[in-house]
Amino acid sequence: MKLWLAVITLCGLGGMWLYIDITMDMDDEDQVKAFIESRGKGPVPASWRGEVGKGI
């Protein structure tokens, strides 16, 4: 019984991590799309901070 509880808990944590990772990627994509559509007049997307000027 304890083994199943541990397995279910680990699967739940893994699923939460995957959901959070996918959500963060989608947020980055939305910010990049908004930046490109604003023709560079919007704020720099979070995923680009520290990378501007490095050829992106």
SS (H, E, C) 3-20: HHHHHHHHHHHHHHHHHH
Q: 20 lies in a domain? A: yes
pTM over 0.85: no
Q: 29 lies in a domain? A: yes
Task: Residue 39: give the domain boundaries.
Answer: 2-47
Number of domains present in the structure of the chain = 1
Tokens for 51, please give them.
Answer: 């990378």
- Side chain identity at residue 42, one-letter code: G
The pLDDT assigned to 53 comes to 61
Residue-wise pLDDT for 1-56, tens only, equals 788 888 888 888 888 888 888 777 777 777 777 777 777 676 777 777 666 666 65
Contact criterion met (CB below 8 Å) for 45 and 30: no
Q: 52 lies in a domain? A: no
Q: 17 lies in a domain? A: yes
